[in-house]
């Protein structure tokens, strides 16, 4: 569950960076979007793999063309498409614009993933944590779930900041401010 939440959260962070880059042409926002894509793809792949491992004993199958599973698979293809598109274009500005547009178009998949259990008859249960009348999860399971969500968030922020630092140093390697930092 934490990986699934982070797969969608990461996409929203990436799309936010893409929007800021398109509107205000901030290089840092483009770098943020670029750094989010591999992380989001990792969380999405982890969601699909662990979901399949859990689904076999629970549903009797490794995969079902369930609405939530299928839309999560589409999310993985979006991440992989964004990574491939950015790699196919040599000029950073053009690559940033192209991937930003694709990221913003792909945002439509996030509510589909979230609301799929309410819109269609699926194998997945409806929301049990974010209900209006409170969580429907026993505290013995709620506490570890919340701890894991917090742990995944801390991991995401730490890895994102490290990737962002490396991306800034790589793009700005010829900049005067960076050479001044390196000077004795």
- Decide which of 148 and 184 is more confident: 148
- pLDDT (tens digit, 9 = 90+) per residue, 73-92? 999 999 999 999 999 999 99
| Mean pLDDT, the chain, whole residue set | 92
Cα–Cα distance between 11 and 25 in angstroms, integer? 19
Per-position DSSP letters for 54-68, written without gaps between them:
HHHHHHSSS----HH
Q: What percent of the chain has pLDDT over 70?
A: 97
pTM for the model: 0.92
| Residues 14-28, mean pLDDT to the nearest whole number | 98
Q: Above 90 in pLDDT, residue 124?
A: no
DSSP state of 38: H
Three-state secondary structure call for residue 151: helix
How many domains in the chain? 1
Cα–Cα distance between 12 and 112 in angstroms, integer? 13
| Residues 85-110, mean pLDDT to the nearest whole number | 97
Secondary element (H or E) of residue 94: helix 92-106
Cα–Cα distance between 178 and 173 in angstroms, integer? 7
- pLDDT (tens digit, 9 = 90+) per residue, 128-139? 776 667 677 888
Q: What is the span of the domain harbouring residue 113?
A: 2-182
- pLDDT (tens digit, 9 = 90+) per residue, 43-66? 999 999 999 999 899 888 899 888
CB-based contact 33:21 (threshold 8 Å): yes
| Residues 106-133, mean pLDDT to the nearest whole number | 83
Q: Which tokens hold the place of 153?
A: 């968030």
The number of CA neighbours under 13 Å toward the Cβ of 182 is: 9
Check residue 132 and give its pLDDT.
64
Three-state secondary structure call for residue 25: coil
């Amino acid at each position: 569950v934490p990986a699934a939440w982070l797969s969608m959260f990461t996409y929203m962070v990436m799309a936010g960076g893409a929007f800021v880059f398109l509107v205000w042409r901030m290089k840092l926002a483009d770098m943020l979007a670029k750094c989010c894509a591999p992380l989001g793809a990792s969380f999405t792949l982890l969601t699909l793999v662990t979901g399949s491992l859990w689904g076999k004993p629970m549903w009797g199958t490794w995969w079902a063309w369930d609405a939530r599973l299928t839309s999560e698979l589409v999310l993985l293809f979006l991440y992989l498409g964004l990574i491939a598109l950015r790699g196919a274009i040599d000029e950073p500005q053009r690559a940033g614009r192209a991937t930003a547009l694709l990221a913003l178009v792909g945002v439509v998949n996030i509510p589909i993933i979230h609301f799929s259990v309410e819109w269609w008859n699926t194998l997945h249960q409806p929301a049990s944590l974010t209900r209006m009348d409170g969580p429907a999860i026993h505290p013995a399971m709620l506490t570890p779930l919340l701890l894991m969500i917090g742990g995944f968030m801390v991991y995401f922020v730490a890895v994102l900041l490290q990737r962002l630092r490396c991306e800034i140093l790589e793009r700005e390697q010829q900049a005067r401010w960076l050479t001044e930092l390196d000077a004795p």
